[in-house]
Structure 1
Amino acid sequence: MSQPPDAVPFRVPGRTSPAELRYVYLNLRDHPRGQLQLAALVAAGFVPCLVVDEDSPLAEAGRSGQLAELSQVAGYAEPEPTSEFCRRHGIAHRTVADHNDETTVELLRTARADLVALGDTRILKPHILTLAPHGIVNVHPGYLPEVRGNHPYLWAIIHDLPQGVSVHLIDAEVDRGPLLRTRRVPIPDGIGLPDLVHLLNEECATLLVETMRQIVDGTATLIPQPGDARLTFRQARPEIRELARTMLRERATAPVAGR
């Protein structure tokens, strides 16, 4: 497939295999999407030199919110704690109170990593963004640039926007950094919110691994996002989540034209 004219190569010099790429992985403590991405990376040979979990009220809210949906998915099993996963795989693991704090700064400086990759995290402040020589890779469970901000899959339902996942480098603006990969995700007829969350989580893990492979293969490119005035959505309140859930149910039962 041809690349847009504004695409530029993205390479990490001297890193041509998963084992050579040195990166730190950040996640809110035991956030299921972040855990799934980490497991997929390790299975593909991309073993981080360090995993840093944030243990905070924000982390607990994110974890419990995801599990409230995922626990309704048939056959879903909650992952083992990240600390145990790291112990089994011989990966250094640390816990901090806030990914923007001085402890995180010191951990990133000491790690001397090429990249930082994110699971689910709070918004990182500018002083953290400077600590990864080749950038910070984020996986967004929404299709950029159409759906920026928090809970993109909910807002996509409500505003009839495309569902998808995106991998990009982060900058000082929310979800506006240059794109590495995007993928639209077709939504099966009759899907409920728990299964949609599960599907998008799996797509996030798959696209992140594919992107990391492109980075070490030397085929990754960065595509600037348009500097437009599209909304950056805020965190969805409970009533917004319930509205999205209702809209999915209504679509599942709506009559099909011509039948």
Structure 2
Amino acid sequence: MLERPGFIFFPGCRASAYLDIMQQLTMPPACIVLMQNPLAERGIQAASSHPLVQRFYQPDADIEAFCQQYNVPLYVSSAQSINDAELTKLLLRQGCRHWLFSGGGIVQPKVLATGLKFLHVHPGQMPEVRGSTCFYYSLLHDLTLAASAFFLEAELDAGPSILCRHFHINIPPALLSSDFIDYIVDPYIRAETLKPLWQHWPDISDVSKVAKLSTPPSDRPCYVMHPVLRAMAIQRVAASYNASNETGVFHYA
């Protein structure tokens, strides 16, 4: 049996979307460790200003109010990197082996070697679609969108997938932008993939499902993407809009 995970809250849209899922389910983590992210405000403001954001999640999460509501221990760290030595010591002191990861860099092998297990949700079908910009490449390649939950391993994007969920975007072209994709769609599909695992934890084997619907956009991980290709991906999503169907981002497999 797995203990209730702790939550490493790296301020930003992804962490806020995860907290929103916990609020919906009324299922808090064992504790929350709050990191620092001086760049968080850009994404939070971009998400908050979009007219459709309330359909997806609350980007301006009040972490202190959440902890008070559910009596969750909150530990504040000065760390801006997931690999900060003091942060690792803080995590180890809490007694949680499993932690929900929400950003702060690439977890280094020395941190994984401590025995801590980091649950991560990747914005692509694993292992076929890898890399930080892979969902843009998938949208451009075959108009698919997915997220996969797995436990981090030393090799980047290499852990066996626990659950993969696929999504379809149907948004009016006038409301589509890179900000919408980066700060609303990306955190939302990660949170929606996390949701069944969080709801059924520790019996995650009961919800494990690895659907294979995306084809690899490249034989290499997808990282840097030229702005022109990014615009082309958004244009492809815009061209797929069907005004007769409901507006939103929908899980379909």
Q: How does 1:1-259 map to 2 (within 5 A)?
A: 13=1, 15=2, 21-29=3-11, 31-57=12-38, 60=39, 64-65=42-43, 67-68=45-46, 71-74=49-52, 76=54, 78-91=59-72, 92-95=74-77, 96-133=79-116, 135-160=117-142, 162-188=144-170, 190=172, 192-193=176-177, 196=181, 198-217=184-203, 219-220=205-206, 230-236=219-225, 238-252=227-241
- Closer/same/farther in 2, CA of residues 219 and 250 from structure 1, 3 Å limit: closer
Select between 205-214 and 96-105 the one with higher mean Cα deviation: 205-214
For 2:248, the equivalent position in structure 1 comes to: none
- Closer/same/farther in 2, CA of residues 157 and 56 from structure 1, 3 Å limit: same
Extract structure 1 runs of 4+ deviating beyond 6 A: none
Residues 79-126 of structure 1: CA deviation (Å, up to 9, x unaligned): 234344334433213132321011111111101103111123311111
Q: Which runs of 5+ in 1 are unaligned?
A: 1-12, 16-20, 254-259
Aligned partners of 2:122 and 2:149 also within 8 Å: yes
- Between the aligned partners of 1:245 and 1:143, the Cα distance in structure 2 is 19
User: How far apart are 1:196 and its partner, in Å?
Assistant: 4.9
Q: RMSD over aligned Cα, in angstroms?
A: 3.2
For 1:49, the aligned partner's letter is A
Q: Percent identity?
A: 19
- Between the aligned partners of 2:180 and 2:20, the Cα distance in structure 1 is 20
Q: Which runs of 5+ in 2 are unaligned?
A: 243-253
- Between the aligned partners of 1:156 and 1:66, the Cα distance in structure 2 is 25
For 2:46, the aligned partner's letter is A
Q: Please report the TM-score for the alignment, with normalisation by the length of structure 1.
A: 0.72
- Between the aligned partners of 2:231 and 2:48, the Cα distance in structure 1 is 16
Aligned partners of 1:147 and 1:161 also within 8 Å: no
2:198 is paired with a residue of what secondary structure? Answer: helix
- Between the aligned partners of 1:25 and 1:46, the Cα distance in structure 2 is 12
Residues 186-213 of structure 1: CA deviation (Å, up to 9, x unaligned): 2326462455553453332232121234
User: How far apart are 1:177 and its partner, in Å?
Assistant: 0.7
User: How far apart are 1:28 and its partner, in Å?
Assistant: 2.3
Matched residue pairs, number? 227
For 2:247, the equivalent position in structure 1 comes to: none
Aligned partners of 2:170 and 2:240 also within 8 Å: no
Residues 30-87 of structure 1: CA deviation (Å, up to 9, x unaligned): x112211123125434422332233245xx1x65246425632435454234344334
- Closer/same/farther in 2, CA of residues 70 and 164 from structure 1, 3 Å limit: farther
- Between the aligned partners of 1:75 and 1:222, the Cα distance in structure 2 is 28
For 1:244, the aligned partner's letter is A
Q: Please report the TM-score for the alignment, with normalisation by the length of structure 2.
A: 0.73
